[in-house]
Amino acid sequence: VRVHVVGVGMGPHHVTPEAAAALARASYVIAADKGGNDPLLALRREIAAAHGLEVVAVADPERDRDAPADYDGAVRDWHAARAAAYAEVVAAREGEPAFLVWGDPSLYDSTIRVARSMGAEVSVVAGVGAPALLAARFGIVLHEVGRPVHVTTERRLAEAVAGGQTNVVVMLTSGPPPEVVPDDWTVWWGADLGTPYEALVHGRLGDVRERIGLERECVRAAAGWVMDTYLVRA
């Protein structure tokens, strides 16, 4: 069976004609249900409804978060459990499923890997990811002319800076840029990009670090959730 992995950007206004065409070919949407009040599941439901698709919500398998010693192994097991749960849904239904991926499927998203491990033929549609939207909001290029940009997670930011990276996009954050990034670097920060709660801060890191922390909490309070991405440059 063919599985459509469709990047939907940061909401219904980012669903491209190419994404809409893939959804027109699909028969239903599979979505992970993480339990509780999941705002991204609600958004997926909204997009699916707009394209006349039923959402099959699949309870997300428990992830062993107490296994930091073997993080990669724990993630692998979790992906395998997800793939098995989705394969069961696919076996029980007619037609091709679609997965709606927040942002772009190529960055910090496991859907392509999980779909492949279901043994499916995978067809991917690109979406507007957080780094692209951050750059657009500030009207910047993510790197200087002909220079590289390093994309990483907050978890690996310290090793990136220690390793000599001087132009870094950071995702999977848990707070404002940590102290491992020197005060005299410049930051471009964006939270809940593409939503009505979007917040942006730009400046010398030492001057705006605290403000980013405060804005982050304001966005969380207003929207009920916060996801942020930032570029830091020496």
Ligand X SMILES: C[S@@+](CC[C@H](N)C(=O)[O-])C[C@H]1O[C@@H](n2cnc3c(N)ncnc32)[C@H](O)[C@@H]1O
CA–CA dist 43, 24 (Å, integer): 18
Q: Which range of residues in 47-55, 64-72, 169-177, 211-219 is near ligand X by CB under 6 A?
A: 169-177
102 belongs to the binding site for ligand X (CB under 6 A)? yes
**DSSP-derived 3-state class of residue 5:** strand
Site string for ligand X, 188-207 (x = CB under 6 A): --xxxxx-------------
**Which candidate, 132, 127, 88, 108, places its Cα nearest to that of 4?**
127
Taking CB under 6 A as the criterion, which residues in 21-60 touch ligand X? Answer: none
228 belongs to the binding site for ligand X (CB under 6 A)? yes
**Which candidate, 210, 215, 180, places its Cα nearest to that of 198?**
215
Taking CB under 6 A as the criterion, which residues in 122-151 touch ligand X? Answer: 129-130
Mode of pairing for the β-strands spanning 167-171 and 150-153: parallel
Contact predicate 30/97, CB 8 Å: yes
Q: Which of 115, 124, 135, 227 binds ligand X (CB under 6 A)?
A: 227
172 belongs to the binding site for ligand X (CB under 6 A)? yes
CA–CA dist 130, 93 (Å, integer): 33
Residue closer to ligand X (CB basis): 10 or 160: 10
Residue closer to ligand X (CB basis): 97 or 190: 190
CA–CA dist 221, 129 (Å, integer): 23
Binding site for ligand X (CB under 6 A): 10, 102-104, 107-109, 129-130, 171-173, 190-194, 227-229
